[in-house]
Structure 1
Amino acid sequence: MWVHQKLAEQGESAREDVFRVAEFVDGEGFHLLGKHYRLKLVDIPKNVTGVPSVRFEGDRLLLRREQAASGGKRIEEYYTRAAHPYLNETVQRWKRIVGAEPGRFVQVMDLGYRWGSCSADGTLNFHWRVMQLPARIIEYVVVHELVHIKVPNHSEKFWKMLGSVMPDYESRKAWLKQKGGEL
């Protein structure tokens, strides 16, 4: 009981150690598909409509200044919307190679400390932050979860199957472990 209580007390502070906590000030760095962008807060006149809260232009991530206080939520919404088509296309491409058929559609959400998961029914779940990773690392996360449809654990059989469809998975896995939380 004591161990569980201590883990619960560390929950949020431990989570901050996994992912960098962004500040919503001019010049803050963000990533989309591995490319680095600098935040620029922009003022939009009240009579102008249809300007999204978040958009990428050139090497800038533009965020409406009046949305800065809720910047974390706005960024999460943007990445979640962008992730659905991107991840679905990546899953479609790799599922044939892996020989796995997901049970349902891709879901994008906050998975806490995990980049992805595979439910018992074959639903593939991905953290919205996955959109910050370079494309080749996103592929690793997708393929990892697709292999879980066939092998639901991290046994030797799992890693052997992963290696048979993605021979360089170890370097991708190492990159994710080393740099994933910095994004």
Structure 2
Amino acid sequence: MSFYYGDEKISFTRLARKSESSKVLIKVHPDCQVVALAPEAASRDSVLSAVKKRGRWIYQQLSEFKTQLADYQPRQFVSGESHYYLGKQYLLKVIEDSEAKQSVKLLRGSIEVTVRSKSQDKVSGLLKDWYRLRAKETFSKRLDAVLEQALWVEERPPMRVLTMQTQWGSCSPNGRITLNPYLVKAPRECIDYVILHELCHIAEHNHSERFYRLMGQVMPNWESTKERLDQMAGKLFL
């Protein structure tokens, strides 16, 4: 579906909203994908009307994300590139050694990748595996740390790490939390924000007043933290 905001044509995807809420939930993702989550019973016109009412906000979000994406070039996975880990910037150093064990090491100011033969796919693959391993370790520790604040959660929820193109995290109806391994590139405060966001969904699966009240209780500065994470998205998703 699409509509015009001024001279700008904005396209969006309509998806079914599983909750009982009758409201249309609108999301603008870092890759500039616009999604409208609407009840299945909602008419096409009512969904379009709801999205148009948020036209200005959608346009502003798209403009910000487009600016971010324009500033970043696709990774080449060669020495000298900038890569992130826990909010800090590191220089990539690729070492070719035909007899060495292929590995990734985090050093002071750099991420060192050793390969038997230089290949963009090989360096990229080793880095992805390294980020995923670090993500599992980091997310597990942060989940344990923030659970002390989530008093409504009776048991430690199951957690998995899964690469997603447009989301940092999600929470299933049965309480399983899924986190994007790219999130480990963000500052710890941003990681805590995403985990707390998903923990709040265990109590309230919708973005209701109760949900935002819970977020405000466990992380009073969550809005500024979310904005910080959104601004970094273009760098972290690469």
Aligned AA (1:69) = Q
In terms of Rg, which structure is larger?
2
For the 8 Å contact 2:76–2:120, the answer to whether it is kept is no
Shift of 1:138: 0.7
SS in 2 for 1:96: coil
Aligned to 2:143: 91
**Gap change, CA 1:154 and 1:33, over 3 Å in 2:** same
Shift of 1:75: 1.7
Shift of 1:156: 1.6
TM-score by length of 1: 0.83
In structure 1, C-alpha distance between the alignment counterparts of 2:169 and 2:230, rounded to whole Å: 13
- Greater Cα shift, 124-133 or 92-101: 92-101
> Which of 124, 140, 143 does residue 177 from structure 2 map onto?
124
Shift of 1:114: 0.2
Unpaired runs of 5+ in structure 1?
none
Runs of 4+ in 1 over 3 A off after TM superposition: 17-21, 101-104
Aligned to 2:106: 56
In structure 1, C-alpha distance between the alignment counterparts of 2:97 and 2:154, rounded to whole Å: 45
Q: How many residues align?
A: 173
For the 8 Å contact 1:102–1:123, the answer to whether it is kept is no
Shift of 1:69: 2.1
**Gap change, CA 1:76 and 1:22, over 3 Å in 2:** same
Aligned AA (2:131) = Y
- Output one character per residue of 1:116-154: Cα deviation in whole Å (capped at 9) or x when no partner: 111111111100100100111111111111111111011
Aligned AA (2:114) = R
**Gap change, CA 1:102 and 1:27, over 3 Å in 2:** farther
In structure 2, C-alpha distance between the alignment counterparts of 1:144 and 1:178, rounded to whole Å: 18
| Higher percent of residues as helix | 1
Unpaired runs of 5+ in structure 2?
3-10, 14-30, 34-65
> Which of 107, 123, 128 does residue 76 from structure 1 map onto?
128
Aligned residues: CA RMSD = 2.5
Shift of 1:45: 3.8
In structure 2, C-alpha distance between the alignment counterparts of 1:102 and 1:178, rounded to whole Å: 33
Aligned AA (1:60) = S
